[in-house]
Amino acid sequence: MAARCPGTFDFVLVVPVYGESPDFVDGFRAAAGQAGHLLLVVVLNGRSGATATVHSSNDGCFRALSRRFALRPLGPGSWLGHESDPTGTPGAPESRLSVLVVDRFTPGRRLPARQGVGLARKIGADVALELIVAGGVRHPYIAMTDADARLPEDYFARIAAIEPGCSGAMFPFWHEPGGERQMDRATALYEIRLRYFQRGLQWAHSPYAFHTVGSTMVVDALSYALVRGVPRRRAGEDFYLLNKLSKLRPLAHLQGAPIRLRSRLSERVPFGTGSESAKLVRGAKLELYHPDCFTAVRQLVQALRRLSGARAAPSSRARPVVSDLLVAMNPIVRRFLERQGALDAWPGIIAQAPSPAARIRRLHDWFDGFRTLKLIHHLRDGGSPSLPWKEAIRRAPFMDEADVGDDGANLITTRTALLGREQDLPRLIGPSAFEE
């Protein structure tokens, strides 16, 4: 498909589209106006077993895109079309938008029933990678977002300014109220849950204290290939992809105006913003992880730092050092680490890593974002149950009292304060940010 795509582009943006209105393109226009020649890779997809409404929406979306961009067949299962600068402003720099539609929505091409957004992202990003490798895209970054996103005007300028050596980057985000009170409040509450979790990990000094929101990701092409692309998961593909990328090279926080996401309910994936917000609308109460969970993570991170400074020794001599460290830990944490194999893995890291910086990096490669989340769940189920959201925020040493202000609606003040604090996050993050 990429080999048949004529021309060259300045940037490429991948969007999975499932049961959407064709107006989703309008959310990218402000950014596209500053991108030079942008290629939008639209993976129009439906799953086997999806409702007739989804398939009908996909058909309607394709027809509208065909008219708007004058789509022409590029080859089996793909169409390419172009749109000149719609403003027609005299003297304005040339701005063009091209759309490559990948057919995963017609009978015989639909996604398997148990796969979804992860596979759709992978298909689009793999095409983008092939174009970059072939020299068809000037900037070597695969930008990814979703159909409910409105990109800031300087979106592509910030991508072009990413430091060399980063494996990827994340934009800040904000859920925009859509006018339906229950839905807007539920989405606002879920956003607070995301920001609470990130702040807890940051306070714990975890190198995995970054958001994993698929609509905000940008991935370096080489790094994308080295981690073998987007995981083929129906949900959580963003979490696993960024977890792997952060071990390879640092991730960049892109400060500035956020990507604005439309507040809406969704059952497209088994978990995530849309489905979790739907549960809140149906009457579920928002609970947040107990602050003690983050205290335990903080203590473990401190223990890893002490271990990284231990004198290099063969694995057999390092094993007692690790054993003594585990004995001194919270029994619940110790049992978790023993079951995860720390007593076997950590002595080998001490023996093989050439310096304290290399040891701390490799220890955090082992105690990664996934194991961190598993530990938090282990603590939650083992004596530190989740709390109602206001109580959790009041107790948390990494939150402010002002953060429990509840306007009874969209929690604008609370969310604005939390978003503002994220502008001060370290520019680079991840275990690979440690200097060796």
Block means of pLDDT (10 residues each) for the chain, 436 residues, are 92 96 95 95 93 95 96 95 62 70 96 88 97 97 97 98 96 90 87 96 97 96 97 89 97 96 62 59 83 98 91 77 92 96 93 89 96 98 94 94 75 90 91 74
Alpha carbon of 422 to those of 56, 174, 200: distances in Å? 40, 12, 12
The pLDDT value given to residue 49: 85
Q: What pLDDT is recorded for position 284? A: 74
Q: Are the C-beta atoms of 261 and 175 separated by less than 8 Å?
A: yes
What are the residue boundaries of the structural domains of the chain, listed by start? 2-176+203-265, 291-382
Contact 107, 200 (CB under 8 A): no
Token pair belonging to 145: 């977002």
Predicted local confidence at residue 90, as pLDDT: 40
Collapse the DSSP code of 14 into the 3-class scheme (helix H, G, I; strand E, B; otherwise coil) and give the result.
Answer: strand
Q: What CA–CA distance (Å, rounded) separates 344 from 329?
A: 17
CA-to-CA distance for 112 and 235, rounded, in angstroms? 14
Output the six-digit token pair for 68: 């708007």
- Residue 173 CA to residue 250 CA, distance in Å, equals 20
pTM: 0.91
Q: Which CATH superfamily is domain 2-176+203-265 in?
A: Spore Coat Polysaccharide Biosynthesis Protein SpsA; Chain A (3.90.550.10)
The residue whose two tokens read 């497209």 is 268
Token pair of 417 as six digits: 């304060």
What b/e sequence results for 257-293 when a residue is b if at least 16 CB atoms lie within 10 Å of its CB, and e otherwise?
ebbbbbbbbeebbeebbbbbbbebeeeeebebbbbbb
Segment 156-159 long-range contacts (CB within 8 Å, at least 24 positions apart): 156/10, 156/11, 156/31, 156/34, 156/35, 156/36, 156/38, 157/34, 158/254, 158/256, 159/11, 159/218, 159/254
Per DSSP bridges, beta strands 168-170 and 217-220 are antiparallel
pLDDT at 93: 42
